Structure 1
């Protein structure tokens, strides 16, 4: 079980580490180009992995493929566009904290869209996430921090796209392999983003395709779209989904630490308050429910996996 917990924690830490990486990329390359190349690189790895591990027979059913198309549109295209565009304006520290609202947003979406009953813990988690967002944006009113309300709003738009992705994924649960689903979503996303990537080529600055930026892009693609997938679902084979969701707390923590240590961003008291509130929201939304009324209602999706197209 310790190995499973290590895999889950490593997966979330890699997702968090990709927030400052994405900020560096967004400042150097056109956003559509980053997103499209990321998808194409992931496809190059996922295709042979899918053939080796899951060995699918033929194409997935039409209904499954249609659902995967929309998962790709929301969970890859919109998520990456929101995250990368937002990180051009806000700090990696605040971007990581905004991403921590995902479990609460998914829980709210389950209640409002799927008409699932949401327990008191779920509503409290959503409230804490909202107050946490207000706290980190209040830093701006006090003249502290290096973020931006506009940037935070764009990152939150990406969170909404990811939440829609998670809710759509429920339709395909158990109908297609995880790696197969990930491959087709990356392929659909590459097709959706390709026209925008082509249009962005004239805006590519001289020297932007430096070895450093290429290395960042390869790391960003293969960790967020492939390695995190393998680690997360490898951990889920031994740990329950409800327990796994608690490890989402490693995402904002890792993003915050690397933003301060690597990018030199300032960590203020307002950020500390926002971090505590976001952590409380994650734990309430994902902690295994006790038996009884709350256990029957649930607190929301426990093991949603923020970051990129990894789940079925």
Structure 2
């Protein structure tokens, strides 16, 4: 989630230089090239059952196509910091989705952690408003559509966690993602000439290898060990890191209220993950 958050600012820079569909398509294509030999080496030849392939295809639609379309389109209209703030709704959406759709029971302290995370993001939002910056309602709505896609991806990933090797699952998701995005990206293939600029090509490589390879591997491995509701708490690092990178890389102002907001987010993770002492009888 830290790496995904850092990619919000990177995605904004890429979306300003390349068509949105092209950014997402090239990201998935590069990830596929990297994951293919890695999957063969780590997992060997795997026969993935049809139902799991369908689940991975749905993850591609929601977690790659919808998330990237909403995020990249929204970031064209709003700032990276504000886009990160909208992503603050992700932990609550994932937690509620896990409870309603996966029938996962969320302890009271996990709901408290979601509230703390939301409070942290609210504090950062107050700081932004007090600073006189103006956001885009449409841009924020588009980013929130991306949030809904990412939350759906989290829940779908939880449904098949442990049933297929991590690298193989990541590979198939990137393959499906590239296929879904290809019809939208290929008509504008001429824009790829912009990648002759070394710095832009480096940004795309970083974006692809972190967001579509390393993050997926970490996420699938983590979901084998924690429920979706707990994983949702850790998504608080996504908007938190997005805000930090926007401040440091893009030069947006950091205030004491921002500091308070980040403190609340870290507290939310501590509340959610603090070990429970067993009762001795």
* TM-score above 0.5, yes or no: yes
Cα distance 1:108–1:64, how it changes in 2: closer, same or farther (>3 A)? same
Of 1, 20, 23, which residue of structure 2 is paired with 1:34?
23
Instruction: Report what 1:151 is aligned to.
Output: 139
3-state SS in 2 of match to 1:262: helix
User: How far is the alpha carbon of 1:172 from its aligned partner?
Assistant: 1.2
Q: Is the 8 A contact 1:39 1:189 kept in 2?
A: yes
Instruction: Report what 2:201 is aligned to.
Output: 214
User: How far is the alpha carbon of 1:191 from its aligned partner?
Assistant: 0.7
Instruction: Report what 1:68 is aligned to.
Output: 56
Corresponding position: 1:123 with 2:123? no
Instruction: Report what 2:251 is aligned to.
Output: 264
Q: Which moved more, 1:69-78 or 1:84-93?
A: 84-93
Cα distance 1:95–1:213, how it changes in 2: closer, same or farther (>3 A)? same
Instruction: Report what 1:84 is aligned to.
Output: 72
Corresponding position: 1:93 with 2:81? yes
Instruction: Report what 2:11 is aligned to.
Output: 22
Corresponding position: 1:49 with 2:38? yes
Instruction: Report what 1:167 is aligned to.
Output: 155
Distance in 2, Cα, partners of 1:220 & 1:250? 17
Instruction: Report what 1:290 is aligned to.
Output: 276
Distance in 2, Cα, partners of 1:201 & 1:33? 7
User: How far is the alpha carbon of 1:237 from its aligned partner?
Assistant: 9.9
Q: Is the 8 A contact 2:95 2:229 kept in 1?
A: no
Of 214, 221, 244, which residue of structure 2 is paired with 1:227?
214
Instruction: Report what 1:5 is aligned to.
Output: none
Distance in 2, Cα, partners of 1:248 & 1:154? 19
**TM-score of the superposition, structure 2-length normalised?**
0.82
Question: Which residues of structure 2 form unaligned runs of 5+?
Answer: none
Cα distance 1:158–1:185, how it changes in 2: closer, same or farther (>3 A)? same
**TM-score of the superposition, structure 1-length normalised?**
0.75
User: How far is the alpha carbon of 1:266 from its aligned partner?
Assistant: 2.3
> RMSD value over aligned CA atoms?
3.5
Cα distance 1:180–1:107, how it changes in 2: closer, same or farther (>3 A)? same
3-state SS in 2 of match to 1:145: coil
